[in-house]
Structure 1
C-alpha cells in the first residue's frame, strides 16, 4: 500500500502530574481528557469519524478533521477548553479535574493504519515537552487549568492575521533551543495575563519582516536559555524526544 504524505492539523495534550494519581484516579482523568477534547472538537465542527485520536502515556494526540478551519479550532481552544476544564474543577462529580499542556501545530505527516510519523509531529512533541510550557503551567495560579502553545505555522496562519476572537497581543514568542542536530523551534505561548506587555504589533501585516517577536538564531549549541518576549528563562534544555507524553 502506498502511503501519501498529507498536511494535517495536530492537537497534543498532556496531563500535568498524572503519575501522582492511583490507578482509579488515572482512569478518571483519562476519561475527563476524552470528554473535554470531545467537546472541543464538537464545538469546532469536527466530524469525529474524520479525526484520528490516540491516547499516549499521560496525554492525547489528535489529527483533526481536515475540514475544520484552523482559526475556528483555535477559537474553541481559547473558549471551550477553559470552560470545560473549569467546570470539572468546580464540580468534581462531573469528571476529575485536570491541568493540561496543549500544543496546536500544522504540517505534513505520513499516516497509515498503524501509526503517524513525520518531522512536524516530532516538532509538536518537542514544543509540548519544552521548559517554557512546563514552567508556565507550574507557575500559573490555581484558577488556570491549561497552557497553550501554537507553532510558528499556526501563528502565521491563524493568530497574526487578526481573525475574530483571536487576540494576537495575548501570544508571546518562545524559542526552544536546537538539540541533537535538530533546528531551533519557535512557538507562541498564549499568555492573556500579559496582554499589551512587550513590543507592540507592527502595522505592516502578516507578511512583513517586521512581525513582532521575530528573533535571530539561537546561541550556539542551544545553550539552555529560552528567549521569551521581553525576558529570558534559564534551563531551556529539552529532554530526549520520544513520541510519549511525560506528565
Structure 2
C-alpha cells in the first residue's frame, strides 16, 4: 500500500554534554512537539503507524491522508513547538531536528514494515547535505524531501514556494539520488546555494548565527530547475 513516510532525528542527541536525564527530556520534548504539530497541521497522530528510533521517530501516514500538509503546514508547526520547548529548557535539553519526507509502497510483516521506500527515507535523513544544512542554519529544523515528493507535492502546491528548496546529491550506503532541502524557519533566498562554512560546534540544541560570503571557488551552472555545482 502507498503511504506517506516521515522520519525525524535529533541533532547531537548523543553529545557527551547530554546526560541520561537530558536525553529523556529531549525525547519527551521531541514527541510532544511532533504530536502537537500533527494536530496543528490537521493530521492524525493516532492513525499513523509509528516506530521509536531512540533519537528520533518514524511514521507512516494512512493511505488516505493528503500529502500536502506534511510540507505545507507541518514543518512550521514543528518549528513553533520546538521553539516553545527550547525557550524553557537548558542548552543540553534543547532540540533541533532533521525531517525526511518520502512516499511509496510499503509491506508489513510480523516484525514491522519494510520497503525500499522506507530505506530511502532513512538514507535521506542521514545525508551529509541535510546535516550540514541544519548545522549551518540558525533555525531549529531542516527538511529533506525525496525527488518524488518534491516533484509530485512541493512543485504542485498552491501554498509552498518551491524556490525555497535546494537540490542536493545524496550518496549514502547503496543509495545515490537527488533530494531537496528546505529550512522552514530560515528559508533559502532565491539564487542562493547550500554552500557555507560552519563555525565551531555549539552546545547541542543551541542555535548559531552564520554569515555566508560568496567567492570564486566554484561555478554554478543552472539548466531548468536543477543546479549543478562544480568546485575547484
Fold similarity call, TM over 0.5: yes
Task: Flag the structure with higher strand content.
Answer: 2
- The Cα offsets for residues 195-234 of structure 1, whole Å up to 9 and x where unpaired, read as 21159xxxxxxxxxx7511xxxxxxxxxxxxxxx464589
Instruction: Select 1:190's aligned residue among 178, 182, 189.
Output: 182
Give the TM-score normalised by structure 1. Answer: 0.73
For residue 58 of structure 1, report the CA deviation from its aligned partner: 1.4
Distance 2:187 2:70 in 1: 21
Distance 1:106 1:59 in 2: 19
Instruction: Select 1:168's aligned residue among 159, 162, 187.
Output: 162
Q: Confirm whether residue 126 of structure 1 aligns to residue 123 of structure 2.
A: yes
- The Cα offsets for residues 70-103 of structure 1, whole Å up to 9 and x where unpaired, read as 112211233201111111122228xx42011110
Matches within 5 A, 1:1-12: 6-12=1-7
Distance 1:8 1:77 in 2: 17
Unaligned runs of 5+ in 2: 194-222
- The Cα offsets for residues 127-154 of structure 1, whole Å up to 9 and x where unpaired, read as 110110111111122xx11111011111
Q: Confirm whether residue 151 of structure 1 aligns to residue 141 of structure 2.
A: no
Q: Confirm whether residue 60 of structure 1 aligns to residue 52 of structure 2.
A: no
Unaligned runs of 5+ in 1: 1-5, 200-209, 214-228, 235-247
Instruction: Select 1:35's aligned residue among 29, 32, 55.
Output: 32
Q: Confirm whether residue 112 of structure 1 aligns to residue 112 of structure 2.
A: no
Paired residues of 2:126 and 2:172 also in contact (CA < 8 A): no
- The Cα offsets for residues 94-116 of structure 1, whole Å up to 9 and x where unpaired, read as xx420111101111111235311
Give the TM-score normalised by structure 2. Answer: 0.77
Paired residues of 2:40 and 2:74 also in contact (CA < 8 A): no
Q: Secondary structure at the match of 2:14?
A: helix
Q: Secondary structure at the match of 2:73?
A: helix
- Dislocated runs of 4+, deviation >4 Å: none
Query: Structure 1 pair 172/89, CA: closer, same or farther in 2 (3 Å)?
Result: same
